[in-house]
Amino acid sequence: MANFPILSITLFTPVIAAIVIMLIPRKNEQPIRLVAAFATLVSLILSVVVFFGYDQGLGGLQFIERIIWTPDLGVTYALGVDGISIPMLLLTALIGFSAVFASWQIKDRVKEFFVLLLILLTGVMGTFLTTDLFIFFLFYEVVVIPIYLMVIMWGSSKRVTKEYAGMKLTIYLLIGSAFLLIGIIMLFIQSYLANGTPTMDIFALAQIGFSTTFQVIVFALMAFGFGTLLSMFPFHAWSPDGYAGAPTAVSMIHAGVLKKIGGYGLIRIGIYLLPAGAQIIAPIIAVLAIGNIIYAAFICLSQKDLKYIVGYSSVSHMGYVLIGVAALNLISINGAIIMMFAHGVMSALFFALIGNLYEKSHTRNIDELGGLAHQMPKLATGLMIAGLASLGLPGLVNFVGEFTIFIGAFGTYKVLTILAVSGIIFTAVYILRTLGSVLFGPRREEWDHLQDLKGVEMIPLLVLGGVIILGGILPFGLIDLINSGVGSLIAQIGTIQIGGIF
């Protein structure tokens, strides 16, 4: 079992399935869906195996695979996971699996849809699995194209057209990645000058003591790149429009995991490689994080479209992640990763249910909807779980993230954290208002024809809702794993780079 390339199989199962789907005639829609479901299920099961198979006592990078790819540039196809990437991998697999079922009802161009969806999943997973900067960037770019195509082909136009939404999304992602690329090239050249051997490996790069000025410049580039991806205020404008325009599955994956690449990159690449730069830039990020939390929460209050509410709320929640990252200590970074996981599951559930509702009622306007708990009790339960998770109710996994972030960040930024904590009030206001006007109130005749969730529609609710509740009641499984990763990360940068920075 030792040499079993479990990560590669997890990673490439969706692509193989995509190839298989390309060979299926387009009128056989059911087999196409089943192949996609099977592939994502395989990825999910393998991710769970990795989750439980990871030896926390041993720590460090495990399930390593290395194939030299371009020796001149030091590019290695290097896969490996630790306590930071496993939650992200699991998250991707969970959401991918649910997204297939949330897209079960897609009518036109089923074949192309699932091919793109599966390629997208591989791209996202790849960024979390690799430890090579070049491969990381490669997979990141793989993500962008399917997203664009899926938004403009299967998206929906409300406040803005889907073409506008798709274009905005793509251009923001590309601008972010351009800055990222500059940062990566600078790192590569600097390390080449210092060492004489080309390398793109994160752990090798971490051994080189970059000068503080250099670190500040590169970290600023990365913070901009990853921050854009994470919808950091004021670079968040793509997020609400993009989610509103995108089809359900893309909203799920985008809000659920793609955004998390930003946070993951900030921690894994930004802080790990450039701790001194992080130290200097972090207060700026923390201030912007408050912008995210408060500003976006307020905007949610004035929204009428469900997807815009969730879109802005995800901007708001990313503020918690950002302040957790910016606080630069063990507790806060642990919290940031838990929060990323929690928010991913929660927002994916939200988008899956909203997509389902929209498909049936053809409206997402909260004033037109109302009293849906009468007709659709299961959907109402799902939305309640997602909503309560969103406002940080204890017993659901988001609370663990928020609480940990608050404690961690409070040690570093007193006033900013107090402002961040005030976010829990505004979040409660907009979430409860939204849920109240959509689900509760008098029964409305015009929605009597709506069918409640049934059959495969239940799968996103069961999978994601189950994770939200389980993670909230038994958070220690997740926390111990994350802590093993973050702990060693912080220990390493503490000792190797600049002693005693943390």
Partner 1 sequence: MFVWSIQHAWLIALLPFVAFALIGLFSHKWPKISAYLSIAAIFVSFLMATIIAGGTFLAGEAINYEVAVKWINMPGLQVDMGILIDGLTAVMLVVVTLVALLVQIYSLGYMDKDPGFASYYAYQSIFAGSMLGLVLANNFGQIFVFWELVGLASYLLIGFWFGRNSAREAAKKAFITNRVGDFGFLLGILFLQIIFGTLNFTGLAGEISSYANTGLLIVISLLLLAGPIGKSAQFPLHVWLPDAMEGPTPVSALIHAATMVAAGVYLIARALFIFSATPEAMIVIALVGGFTALFAATIAIVQNDIKRILAYSTLSQLGYMVMAMGIGAMTAGIFHLMTHAFFKALLFLGAGAVIYALQDEQDIWKMGNLNKSMPITTWTFVIGALALSGIPPLSGFWSKDEILLGAFAGGYTGLYILGTLVAFITAFYMFRLIFVAFFGKNQGGVKAVEPPKTMTLPLIILAFMAIVAGFVGSPLANYRFADLVTYAGAVHYDPSLLVMVVSSLVAIAGICLAWLIYQKQAISAEEIKGKFSGLYKLLYNKYYIDELYHWLIKVFVDGTAKVLFWIDIYIVNGFINGLASLAGSMGRLLSYTGNGQVQTYALYMFAGIIIILAAILFGGLAILL
Is residue 501 part of the contact set for partner 1 (CB under 8 A)?
Answer: no
Sole window of 53-61, 115-123, 139-147, 441-449 interacting with partner 1 (rule: CB under 8 A): 441-449
Is residue 87 part of the contact set for partner 1 (CB under 8 A)?
Answer: no
Residues 119-178 that bind partner 1 (CB under 8 A): 168, 171
Pick from 205, 278, 439, 463 the residue near partner 1 by CB under 8 A. 439
Contact between 87 and 8 (Cβ < 8 Å): no
The least CB distance from residue 262 to partner 1, in Å, is 18
Residue written as token pair 């029964």: 443
Pick from 59, 60, 198, 441 the residue near partner 1 by CB under 8 A. 441
The least CB distance from residue 293 to partner 1, in Å, is 13
Q: Which two tokens stand for residue 351?
A: 């988008």
Is residue 399 part of the contact set for partner 1 (CB under 8 A)?
Answer: yes
Query: How far is residue 106's CA from residue 117's CA, in Å, rounded to a whole number?
Result: 12
Is residue 475 part of the contact set for partner 1 (CB under 8 A)?
Answer: yes
With a CB cutoff of 8 Å and minimum separation 6, the contacts of 92 are: 47, 121, 124, 125, 128, 257
What is the CA angle 243-244-250, rounded to 5? Answer: 40
193 CB burial (10 A radius; 0-12, 13-18, 19+): exposed
The least CB distance from residue 145 to partner 1, in Å, is 20
Is residue 228 part of the contact set for partner 1 (CB under 8 A)?
Answer: no
Residues 294-323 that bind partner 1 (CB under 8 A): 295, 298-303
The least CB distance from residue 160 to partner 1, in Å, is 9
DSSP letters of 222-265? Answer: HHHHHHHHTT-TTS-THHHHHHHHS-HHHHHHIIIIIHHHHHHH
Nearer to partner 1, 110 or 300 (CB): 300
Binding mask 401-430 for partner 1 (x = CB under 8 A): --xx-xxx-xx-----xx--xx-xxx-xx-
Contact between 148 and 166 (Cβ < 8 Å): yes
Fill in the amino acid letter for 20. Answer: V
The least CB distance from residue 214 to partner 1, in Å, is 26
Fill in the amino acid letter for 254. Answer: H
Query: How far is residue 70's CA from residue 484's CA, in Å, rounded to a whole number?
Result: 32
Is residue 66 part of the contact set for partner 1 (CB under 8 A)?
Answer: no
Is residue 432 part of the contact set for partner 1 (CB under 8 A)?
Answer: yes
Pick from 393, 456, 458, 498 the residue near partner 1 by CB under 8 A. 393
Q: Please give the helix or strand (H or E) that residue 477 lies within, else none.
A: helix 476-492
Query: How far is residue 94's CA from residue 10's CA, in Å, rounded to a whole number?
Result: 12
Binding mask 366-385 for partner 1 (x = CB under 8 A): -----x-xx-----------
Peptide bond before residue 234 is cis, with ω within 30 degrees of 0: yes
Is residue 476 part of the contact set for partner 1 (CB under 8 A)?
Answer: yes
Is residue 204 part of the contact set for partner 1 (CB under 8 A)?
Answer: no
Is residue 179 part of the contact set for partner 1 (CB under 8 A)?
Answer: no
Helix ranges, 230-376 (H): 238-245, 248-253, 259-265, 272-273, 275-290, 296-301, 306-326, 330-361, 372-375
Residues found near partner 1 in the complex (CB under 8 A)? 168, 171, 234, 236-237, 241, 295, 298-303, 329-331, 334, 371, 373-374, 388, 391, 393-395, 399-400, 403-404, 406-408, 410-411, 417-418, 421-422, 424-426, 428-429, 432-433, 436, 439-443, 475-476, 479-480, 483, 487
